[in-house]
């Protein structure tokens, strides 16, 4: 049995799909840097891993698909979401 996962589905493997996926992760409080292994992410309260083993695999799979398709544009898709999370207003 797989169980519940908080990792959103990647709707499309393109820039807009990546942007939307990162936004969903941010809203859920699950955002992480694209270069980080989800297994290395620790909860803010220090009480263990942010993700279950199943969620780690799901997040790795999504990131692999995005990097295969978008290469370094993955960072460009994540950037506005991260900056919004920090409440940094970007120029249009």
**What's the average model confidence in pLDDT over 70-88?**
92
Residue 58, domain member (yes or no): yes
Confidence of residue 3 (pLDDT cuts 50, 70, 90): confident
State yes or no: pLDDT of 1 exceeds 80. no
Residue 65, C-beta contacts closer than 8 angstroms, at least 6 positions apart = 10, 13
**pLDDT the model gives residue 89:** 80
Residue range(s) defining the domain that contains residue 90: 12-28+50-92
Q: How many domains does the chain have?
A: 1
Cα angle 64, 81, 43; round to 5 = 75
Residue 69, domain member (yes or no): yes
Residue 4, domain member (yes or no): no
Residue 39, domain member (yes or no): no
Residue 33, domain member (yes or no): no
Residue 40, domain member (yes or no): no
In this predicted model, what pLDDT tens digit does every residue of 14-63 receive, in sequence order?
999 999 999 999 999 999 999 999 999 999 899 999 999 999 999 999 99
Residue 43, domain member (yes or no): no
Tokens representing 63 are 């990131």
Residue 88, domain member (yes or no): yes
The pTM for the full model equals: 0.90
């Amino acid at each position: 049995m797989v169980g519940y996962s908080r990792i959103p589905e990647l709707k499309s493997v393109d820039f807009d799909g990546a942007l939307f996926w990162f936004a969903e992760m941010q809203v859920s409080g699950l955002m992480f840097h694209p270069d980080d292994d989800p297994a290395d992410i620790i909860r803010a309260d220090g009480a263990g891993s942010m993700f279950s083993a199943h969620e780690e695999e799901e997040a790795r799979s999504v990131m692999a698909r995005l990097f295969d398709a978008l290469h370094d544009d993955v960072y460009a898709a994540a950037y506005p979401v991260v900056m919004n999370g920090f409440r940094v207003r970007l120029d249009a």
